[in-house]
Structure 1
């Protein structure tokens, strides 16, 4: 079975779905292939940043997004030895329509984008369809080979193939693009603990002590917790068993010690092998990588989704007209990389700095909190909390929705 489209997108994550929606609104025939039957996956990134919420407003989806179940974070804090907190990033200082990070289950966010995209006649979403290889003609990529859940194999030819299939991207690998890896000394273990009505809300509060580090993210009805430990420690943690892990978490976060029994087994603790990398070149002839396929990010700051969405918006701006006119070139694809290079490098630079000055010293036992110079500086000049809030919430080069994709909200 062989079919044809103008643009095929491998991966129905944030980058793939945003790109599919925007290109379809430009009148480009676009097909998104997602290997799973739905978007339901635990512990995918769920942070939706101010610029992404602004984008949804511009697309006419703001009211529908606001109706989704969500919690909101308006500051990033670090615990102090005296029991107080140091506000490192205060999003309330941002002069933006939505000065907060919305914590929304990613499946709800993706369902919203999919519903909006299906309203466009040139959009197709194929679930249960996995990309297995790339199609080539005279060295250029001209689409993909794919397989459905029932084993049916086929070909989908396209003028452009987009790899939005994550940090282990098959499209990236098959196209010969190789990322440059940066060292990351830690991995993350995700789990949930119950949240009570009396618990504080509206903050992202890390815990640091006993050579351990964790980030507590308040969600609707529960806490999503990232336990940060040494890379390669997963087998040892699982061998110790759930009782040992519960005790570890209780010592690290005494305020949550009365609910660690909610972890019934180590199956409730999901391991993330943290990677930080980026491609030197995001494209080859007929193929482009976006989001984690182009640059895997550290989970610190929860910026991966926002960057992926911004990549997709930039790609739609630059590629919609060449795709519609049938004259896409390598120079057009190179423009996407050039436009998104600085924001990617800036965020990864900030993350590497956070690794070096905060995470690594805590894990090495050199201290149990943020660096003293940082504490003194933010204590003397609280307004400086605007800077990390801006870098996390807005970024170096925020992207706006292209004019062809904008829609008024329903009822206007």
Structure 2
């Protein structure tokens, strides 16, 4: 379905990713008529972030969706290991508070379909897929709605609303139409994704390999590995040249047990992802708000992107709900959302930049010449000998900075 029968809504959410779907679900369950516009016909896009942390698992429990999520195909990881040339760092989730002492790796399309199904149980939730936002409606200097195209029919429609929320990712159309420009931070790397069959005898669990000869993330998908090879910024085409020979050789060197399987991988089997970290200095204009990657694109480091975006959505729903019920959302409310989520974003991005500088940049695969071994950076090399360090690392990753709960006006939604 690419269009919505109504011409006005209490809120329009542009983008059907995790932030948009969670925001739409929370508002609809709170009695607010909300339209979620997703420009694609479905959620089936490979190599999207799909690391669901304990903070998000707890939120799903609060929403009464924990049992539904539990039956989705997924890998549960109680620990993650980061291997360097001189040893390992471990993130252990075994002592996390609450019900979930793990993180879940679940295909994002399954997760989004679950949220869509839960949303459709409310008469206030309206999801249009193949619906691409192409313009903003202006009224008295403020955003008053959106124009969108039904990509099934080619027809253009208008939706009038007191609030548009852009959750349409790092290449946000709403952000561009609102005239907001993010400030980018330098990222030294891009990423190549390769799907590799997984066989008996392979290592268990998901792990990260940082070496002087390259950086590789191996995500355990059960019957296959989703391998992420970090490469120098802008070198994806060169890395895939010659039918991907360099990529095959580098992955086999970092994960020797895959060597024979890599021979069947060609250039068409290698997907490239451009890594960027950016952030808006202001996340809103009158009548419109940006959250998630539209406001702050994250690096894939630690898989925090989905979870940070969902925390944005919870905070936005809690802060904006009273105004949406009145039919009027002021700029002060929009600014409150940004203030609430600003420091978690700044701290998380600073940690990602530090990780890039300390060991990602030093391990980016360049050529086959040997280099000095890549050691665990200080002070982590010392801290890893502290008995509680793996659990501290697990808590930082599993819950992040300032996890949000269903409190205040959202409290009635909690099934806890």
Q: Aligned pair 1:232/2:240, yes or no?
A: no
Q: Post-superposition, which runs of at least 4 consecutive aligned residues in structure 1 deviate over 6 A?
A: none
Q: Which residue number corresponds to residue 413 of structure 2?
A: 405
Equivalent in 249, 252, 256 of residue 251 of structure 2: 249
Tell me the alpha carbon deviations over residues 312-365 of structure 1, each in whole angstroms, 9 at most, x when there is no partner: 000111111210111211101111101001111111111111111111122385
How far apart, CA to CA, are the structure 2 residues paired with 1:2 and 1:233?
Answer: 47
How far apart, CA to CA, are the structure 2 residues paired with 1:285 and 1:374?
Answer: 45
How far 1:387 sits from its partner (Å)? 2.8
Q: Which residue number corresponds to residue 343 of structure 1?
A: 344
How far apart, CA to CA, are the structure 1 residues paired with 2:174 and 2:110?
Answer: 26
How far apart, CA to CA, are the structure 2 residues paired with 1:127 and 1:87?
Answer: 42
Equivalent in 165, 170, 181 of residue 168 of structure 2: 165
Unaligned runs of 5+ in 1: none
How far 1:258 sits from its partner (Å)? 2.6
Aligned 1:4-153 pairs, distance under 5 A: 4-81=8-85, 86-149=88-151, 150-153=153-156
Unaligned runs of 5+ in 2: none
Q: Aligned pair 1:376/2:376, yes or no?
A: no
Tell me the alpha carbon deviations over residues 282-325 of structure 1, each in whole angstroms, 9 at most, x when there is no partner: 11100000100010001000000000000000011111121011
How far 1:2 sits from its partner (Å)? 8.0
How far apart, CA to CA, are the structure 1 residues paired with 2:51 and 2:388?
Answer: 24
Equivalent in 211, 222, 225 of residue 224 of structure 2: 222
Q: Is the 1:276–1:297 Cα contact (8 Å) retained in structure 2?
A: yes
How far apart, CA to CA, are the structure 1 residues paired with 2:198 and 2:322?
Answer: 48
Q: Is the 1:20–1:123 Cα contact (8 Å) retained in structure 2?
A: yes
Q: Secondary structure at the match of 2:43?
A: coil
Tell me the alpha carbon deviations over residues 54-87 of structure 1, each in whole angstroms, 9 at most, x when there is no partner: 00000000000001010012222122447xx523
Aligned residues: 403
How far 1:252 sits from its partner (Å)? 2.2
How far apart, CA to CA, are the structure 1 residues paired with 2:200 and 2:56?
Answer: 28
Q: Secondary structure at the match of 2:7?
A: strand
How far apart, CA to CA, are the structure 1 residues paired with 2:264 and 2:292?
Answer: 34
How far apart, CA to CA, are the structure 2 residues paired with 1:340 and 1:247?
Answer: 42
Deviates more, 1:124-133 or 1:386-395: 386-395
Tell me the alpha carbon deviations over residues 76-118 of structure 1, each in whole angstroms, 9 at most, x when there is no partner: 2122447xx5233211132232121100000000000000000
Q: Aligned pair 1:387/2:396, yes or no?
A: no
How far apart, CA to CA, are the structure 1 residues paired with 2:353 and 2:212?
Answer: 22
Q: Is the 1:74–1:91 Cα contact (8 Å) retained in structure 2?
A: yes
How far apart, CA to CA, are the structure 1 residues paired with 2:32 and 2:379?
Answer: 53
How far apart, CA to CA, are the structure 1 residues paired with 2:275 and 2:193?
Answer: 12
Aligned 1:184-203 pairs, distance under 5 A: 184-202=187-205
Q: Which residue number corresponds to residue 271 of structure 2?
A: 270
Q: Is the 1:2–1:155 Cα contact (8 Å) retained in structure 2?
A: no
Question: CA RMSD, aligned part only?
Answer: 1.7
How far 1:141 sits from its partner (Å)? 0.6
Tell me the alpha carbon deviations over residues 353-403 of structure 1, each in whole angstroms, 9 at most, x when there is no partner: 11111111223855434226523330x213122333222110121111221
Q: Secondary structure at the match of 1:64?
A: helix
How far apart, CA to CA, are the structure 1 residues paired with 2:143 and 2:48?
Answer: 30
